[in-house]
């Protein structure tokens, strides 16, 4: 692990395993403050108010929270314990109901208990602690796999654009989108990274630029509207982003948004977005865990959008603007902003990792009309090819 990142522990247990300790990301970059969460209400609030954020990190925090709270219960009656556990999981899931990793982690925690009905409360507590720890360990392994597969497609010295924060702070370690950058840093690739500020909460300015600079990466912070200009000048060689949720046929969705002619995908997975070829193609890759692909959401249209309240815009850095404003703030889609770039955009690869190949294959079997995605799993190599039905 890179020096500078090891000290940033997004989510962890205390020594007794009955508290969740998080790095309060609302106070970054000015202060690194760790907060101990004791109660369900504190855990719910931390997730809701983005003290812990990033799809994988939210899932880990919820699993840790469910386990930590259960360790403090004195129940010996198994029925009472199970009822309380399920109610707590439902309560925590309400903190961010649109977050796929949150619900996936909580369902997994409940499942490990429900699959062992003959055990007692104390044994269940041990199972919960082990399962929560396993969720974090699997996330760390998946992030490293994303990094290795993406790094194999990059060259030393490249200029890489990223948006929002899909790095170490958003996961267990390394990140999704930033994982190849950190692995490249370890191996002397000397990437030039450009981080969009990311309105309205400035995750790029507050978090991405912060963690990259802390790790010694050459990072430049951009205003969001600078990306197209840098693409035109040839400064950007690739774009790597993360995401909170991926539709099952996201490749087709992205193509629809980037192609003004609505032309069908071409025959290769590396040439899907179709824009006028004013400048050389700029590949876009998305680093994402398989748990972020909901099997019940076939297209982006079905994804529930969470409208944001306006304080991030009206009250920058806690200061009230001097004019009265009515602000409609809905989180913009990254792909839509890239469509304005004067360059041919290739949706190059969707890097998705899973420690089990079967669930991933089942997800992409839902793809239709020959849509393709390149899927990286421990069961594939760097020469992974996309097949006609979108599966590996």
Contact 67, 129 (CB under 8 A): yes
Identify each DSSP E strand in the chain by its residue range. 11-13, 20-23, 34-37, 159-162, 192-196, 218-222, 238-241, 282-289, 307-308, 329-330, 345-353
**170, β-bridge pairs:** none
Q: What one-character-per-residue DSSP string does 351-363 give? A: EEE-SSHHHHHHH
347-375 per-residue burial string, b: 16 or more CB within 10 A, e: under 16: bbbbbbbbbebeebbebbebbeeebbbbb
Instruction: Single out the catalytic residue among 237, 244, 253, 348.
Output: 244
CA angle 261, 196, 247 (to 5 degrees): 50
Cis peptide before 29 (omega within 30 of 0): yes
3-state class (DSSP) for residue 36? strand
Alpha-carbon distances of 309 from 140, 193, 306, 312, 371, rounded to whole Å: 32, 30, 10, 8, 36
- State how far Cα 53 lies from the chain centre: 9
- The answer to whether residue 244 is catalytic is yes
3-state class (DSSP) for residue 349? strand
Give pairs for 107-115: CB < 8 Å, separation 24+. 108/63, 108/135, 109/62, 109/63, 109/66, 109/67, 110/85, 110/86, 113/82, 113/85, 114/82
Order of strands across the sheet with 218-222?
A: 218-222, 192-196, 159-162, 238-241, 282-289, 345-353
Question: Active-site positions?
Answer: 244
């Amino acid at each position: 692990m890179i020096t500078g990142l090891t000290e940033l522990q997004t989510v962890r247990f205390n020594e007794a395993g009955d508290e969740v300790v998080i790095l309060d990301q609302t106070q970054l970059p000015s202060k690194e403050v760790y907060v101990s969460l004791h109660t369900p209400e504190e855990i719910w609030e931390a997730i809701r108010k983005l003290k812990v954020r990033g799809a994988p990190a939210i899932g880990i925090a919820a699993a840790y929270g469910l386990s930590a709270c259960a360790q403090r219960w004195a129940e010996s009656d198994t029925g009472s314990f199970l009822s309380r556990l399920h109610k707590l999981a439902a309560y925590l899931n309400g903190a961010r109901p649109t977050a796929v990793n949150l619900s996936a982690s909580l369902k997994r925690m409940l499942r490990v208990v429900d699959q062992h009905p003959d055990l007692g409360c104390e044994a269940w507590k041990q199972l919960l602690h082990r399962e929560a720890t396993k969720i974090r360990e699997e996330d760390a392994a998946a992030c490293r796999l994303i990094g290795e597969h993406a790094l194999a497609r990059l060259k030393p010295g490249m200029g890489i654009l990223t948006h929002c924060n899909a790095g170490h702070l958003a996961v267990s370690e390394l990140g999704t989108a930033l994982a190849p950058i950190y692995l490249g840093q370890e191996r002397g690739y000397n990437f030039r990274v450009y981080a969009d500020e990311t309105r309205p909460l400035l995750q790029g300015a507050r978090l991405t630029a912060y963690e990259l600079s802390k790790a010694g990466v050459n990072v430049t912070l951009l205003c969001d509207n600078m990306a197209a200009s840098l693409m035109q000048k040839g400064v950007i060689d690739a774009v790597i982003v993360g995401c909170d949720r991926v539709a099952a046929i996201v490749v087709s969705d992205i193509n629809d948004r980037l192609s003004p002619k609505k032309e069908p995908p071409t025959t290769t997975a590396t040439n899907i977005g179709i824009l006028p070829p004013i400048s050389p193609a700029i590949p876009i890759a998305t680093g994402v865990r398989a748990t972020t692909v909901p099997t019940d959401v076939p297209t982006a249209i079905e994804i529930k959008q969470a409208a944001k309240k306006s304080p991030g815009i009206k009250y920058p850095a806690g200061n009230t603007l001097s004019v009265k404003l009515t602000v409609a703030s809905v989180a913009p889609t990254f792909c839509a902003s890239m469509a304005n770039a004067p360059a041919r955009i290739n949706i190059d690869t969707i890097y998705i990792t899973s420690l089990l190949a079967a669930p991933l294959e089942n997800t992409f079997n839902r793809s239709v009309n020959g849509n393709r995605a390149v899927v990286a799993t421990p069961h594939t190599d760097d020469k992974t090819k996309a097949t006609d039905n979108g599966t590996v």
